[in-house]
Amino acid sequence: MQTGQQVKFGSSIDGVVGQMYSTGHGVKLVTHMVNNMRMDLVRIPVHATLPLTDPVYEQIKEVAVYAKEQGMSIMAVVSQKTGAWSEINTSLEGDAKYSAIAKCGETCPDNIYGLDLNDYATYLDTLLTDLETAGAKVDYLAPFSQDDVSASDYQALWTAMSSDDDGTLKRVGPESGYITDADEVYTALAAELDVAAANFDDEDTLTSREQRAEWDAMSAAATNDSAPLWFTESSKWINGGSNANDKLVTGIGSLMAAINAGAERIVFERHAAIFAWFNGGNTDAKYHAMNHFALGTLGNVVKSEVYSQDIRGVSFREGDTLYVMFTNGGTEPVHVAVRLQDGETTTVTDIAATDDVFTVQTFGTGGNNKTPSNISVNDDKNIIQATINANNYIRFTIPLAPSTDG
């Protein structure tokens, strides 16, 4: 965790551009990101499988220009998708993502996938210049994602690019698919990057303690290079279960290890049909739960530890209000105790009489806003307890005695 750490959110239009514009609702999705979820970054795809003359780029440009007009930053990332909604669940791997880029054969045997990186640089320069001319300057660029890329590949590409005249473009990477060993991968590439980015596709193979340890290692590597840490493709909202309740619990739970380790930004893999419909309307409980979670993250991260395999937790403080969020991803209820930091106390004296001050809201199996059982506050006003039902996300909003610091 970084001192004074705050967390911001962004979302992606990757993989849905064709559907957005076949219905004419692309701008409404961006409006939803800004107005409904207070996001300040949109992730747009670089479809290196397509020529730059493909109509999809005009569609992307329209979204990017509108996003800039709303004050959003733009992150461009090489895409694993084709841009067609019908292929939304198909991911391109390896060199299949770069089929529109020339190969240089025997003249560059060490280049990733044998790509002509000069040709790729020209492709990216042309795209970024076109976007900037239209009013949608790209702020962050990840030219590789989940690739076995080397520092020399990055260096050759950056050297060949010329579109970053003012030196403000931030280089993001490597977007390792697995958090395991992501710190070692990043460290080898750190000199060529400005933002340390990782994904979390191996979450299901790790215990909660292992998840935290791996994210802590990635955070230490980023801190050593004075780089911000980003979780750039949060995907459990898509594949984290068989229904909306499962996905909201695993989706929120997957964010917590990264945030506790020091991640300053979360970027969701897809916005459409996860948090918003194509007409800009809210989706199901996934939207409502994530929006509720985000409202609790407006302050600074508070260092916290959770000692349970099924429970994930994270805390934020905004002024004299503490927000503590948990997920119970298990199949049984779990009783939790929120122990405040030394010297901190809550102002709550009678839980039954303070529903409008001390609030506990839930989402997940069994319905939303169900009151947990066994809620209590000890006599010293520094331990709050409750039972979290199975497959639930819960947020405690805890008023604290005013701070005497400063």
Ranges of each domain in the chain: 8-295, 311-399
Confidence at residue 352, expressed as pLDDT on a 0 to 100 scale? 57
What Rg do the C-alpha atoms of the chain give, in angstroms? 22
Q: Are 169 and 125 in contact (CB under 8 A)?
A: no
Which residues, in sequence order, are CB contacts of 351 under 8 Å at separation 6+?
Answer: 358, 375, 376, 377
80 DSSP 8-state letter: S
Q: What does DSSP say about strands 170-176 and 195-198: parallel, antiparallel, or unpaired?
A: parallel
Q: Check whether the bond before 174 is cis (ω within 30° of 0).
A: yes
Work out the number of other CB atoms within 10 angstroms of the CB of residue 94.
Answer: 11
Beta strand ranges found along 269-347 (DSSP E): 300-302, 311-318, 321-328, 334-339
Element (H, E) at 396: strand 392-399
Q: Are 73 and 31 in contact (CB under 8 A)?
A: no
Confidence at residue 348, expressed as pLDDT on a 0 to 100 scale? 82
Q: Quick one: CA dihedral 182, 185, 188, 190, positive or negative? A: negative
Q: Which residues pair with 5 in a beta bridge?
A: none
Element (H, E) at 82: none
Which residues, in sequence order, are CB contacts of 307 under 8 Å at separation 6+?
Answer: none
Work out the number of other CB atoms within 10 angstroms of the CB of residue 206.
Answer: 18
User: In terms of Cα–Cα distance, which of 292, 175, 297 is closest to 229?
Assistant: 175
User: In terms of Cα–Cα distance, which of 163, 171, 175 is closest to 139?
Assistant: 171
Confidence at residue 359, expressed as pLDDT on a 0 to 100 scale? 58
CATH no. for 8-295: 3.20.20.80
In order of 10, 63, 114, 117, the CA distances from 149 in angstroms are 25, 29, 11, 12
Q: Are 275 and 232 in contact (CB under 8 A)?
A: no
Whole-angstrom distance, CA of residue 253 vs CA of residue 356: 26
Q: Which residues of the chain register pLDDT less than 50?
A: 353-357, 406
Whole-angstrom distance, CA of residue 156 vs CA of residue 88: 32
Confidence at residue 357, expressed as pLDDT on a 0 to 100 scale? 39
Q: Are 297 and 258 in contact (CB under 8 A)?
A: no
What predicted TM-score, i.e. pTM, was given to this entire model? Answer: 0.93
Whole-angstrom distance, CA of residue 256 vs CA of residue 113: 35
Q: Quick one: CA dihedral 376, 5, 137, 190, positive or negative? A: negative
Confidence at residue 284, expressed as pLDDT on a 0 to 100 scale? 86
Q: Which CATH superfamily is domain 311-399 in?
A: Golgi alpha-mannosidase II (2.60.40.1180)
What is the Cα 267 distance to its own chain's centre? 3
